[in-house]
Structures are given as C-alpha cells and as structure tokens.
Amino acid sequence: MNAPLSSSTVSSENERLSWTQSLKGYWLKQAYRHKNAEKLMYVMFVSGFLLWDQLSLPWTIERWLLLAHMVIGVSLFLWTVGMFWSAHRRLLMRSKKSFLRITGRMTEALLVLCVSSGVYLFFYGVTGNTLSVFIQDVHFYSSLVLTPLVFRHALRWSVLNLKSSRLVSFFANRRGDNT
C-alpha cells in the first residue's frame, strides 16, 4: 500500500513544478523575441564588413572594430542569438508557412557556417595558409548571404521594416488624432 504523502513532500513537488513551468514559459517567450537577435546580426555584419581587406581601413580603426566584432561575437551574439534560435526553431514543427520554414532552415545552415568559421578565426586567425584563407572565405560569403536572408525571413516584423517601426506608427497616430 502507498504511504500518504507528507505536506512538505507535496509543497516541494509543487515548487519544483512551478520552477520548471516558469523556465519553460521564459524559454517559449524567447521564440518571439527576434528583435535583439536581428539587431545583433546587423551589428556583426557591419562591423565585420568594415574589416574586409578590400576596404583597407586604417589599422587604428580596424583594430578596435576587430576587437569589438570578436568580443561581441563570442559573448553577446552567441548568447542572444543562440537562445533565440534554440527556442525559435521549434516553430518549424508547427508552422504551415512554407516560405518561412525554408528560409528559416537556410538561415540555420548559414548561421552554423558563419558562426563556426567565426569561432575558428577567433582562435586561429588568418595565418595565410590555404585552410585559414578558405575559412575566411566561408565566413565572408556565408555572412553576405545570411544578412539579406534574415531580413527577408523576418520582413514583416523586421527592425529595418519602416512600416512596422514605432516612430512611423507614432506619427501615423498623431496624424490620425489631428484629422
């Protein structure tokens, strides 16, 4: 026969449940917080693009950009985009929007390429051998496709979409008030 549960066992079980539920709730919320992930992606692209050899920026500027690009890349970017991605990708299972599923999958593949090549460059740099030049090319070209793809994927809600920006709706509302 089962022994009756003591009240302290029940309350610790309830506590454990509410803790896992709030963690789950927090996790699910991340799936809809795309703005920070998207903004960081653009920050990484702009700071990385300015490092491109063809632009030949003076080293005094380039060294700060490189430092910022690398430090943000291995900290804030990995944390924010990693968390958003791991929660957001579950939408793949349920979504009926085939365009978003396809562009989402492509984004995922390019993110893996771009981030893994970035982490390689962080640790080993471009030493001039064939492998490091190849990895540099992978990083450059994957980021070149990734950035417009993410913009297109998130188009309706993109931080760069002026129609959905707060400033535009603020002025539109004011105009509405005055008429």
List interacting residues with ligand HEM (CB under 6 A).
34, 37-38, 41, 44-45, 48-49, 51-53, 66, 69-70, 73-74, 77-78, 81, 85, 88-89, 91-92, 95, 97, 100-101, 104-105, 107-108, 114-115, 118-119, 121-122, 125-126, 136, 139-140, 143, 146-147, 150, 153-154, 156-157
Coil, strand, or helix at residue 126?
A: coil
Nearer to ligand HEM, 46 or 172 (CB): 46
Nearer to ligand HEM, 18 or 68 (CB): 68
Cα–Cα distance for residue pair 54/115, rounded to 1 Å? 22
Q: Which residue is nearest to ligand HEM (CB)?
A: 48
In this structure, what token pair is assigned to residue 133?
């030049």
Nearer to ligand HEM, 17 or 102 (CB): 102
Task: Kindly state the smallest distance separating residue 58's Cβ from ligand HEM, in Å.
Answer: 15
Task: Kindly state the smallest distance separating residue 28's Cβ from ligand HEM, in Å.
Answer: 13
- What long-range pairs does 40-45 form, CB within 8 A, spacing at least 24? 40/72, 40/76, 40/77, 40/80, 40/81, 41/77, 41/81, 41/146, 41/147, 41/150, 42/147, 42/159, 42/160, 43/72, 44/69, 44/72, 44/73, 44/77, 44/143, 45/143, 45/146, 45/147
Nearer to ligand HEM, 66 or 83 (CB): 66
In this structure, what token pair is assigned to residue 87?
């929660």
Cα–Cα distance for residue pair 179/168, rounded to 1 Å? 17
Task: Kindly state the smallest distance separating residue 165's Cβ from ligand HEM, in Å.
Answer: 14
Cα–Cα distance for residue pair 6/13, rounded to 1 Å? 11
Task: Kindly state the smallest distance separating residue 86's Cβ from ligand HEM, in Å.
Answer: 10
Q: At residue 178, what is the residue type?
A: N
Task: Kindly state the smallest distance separating residue 30's Cβ from ligand HEM, in Å.
Answer: 12
Nearer to ligand HEM, 83 or 126 (CB): 126
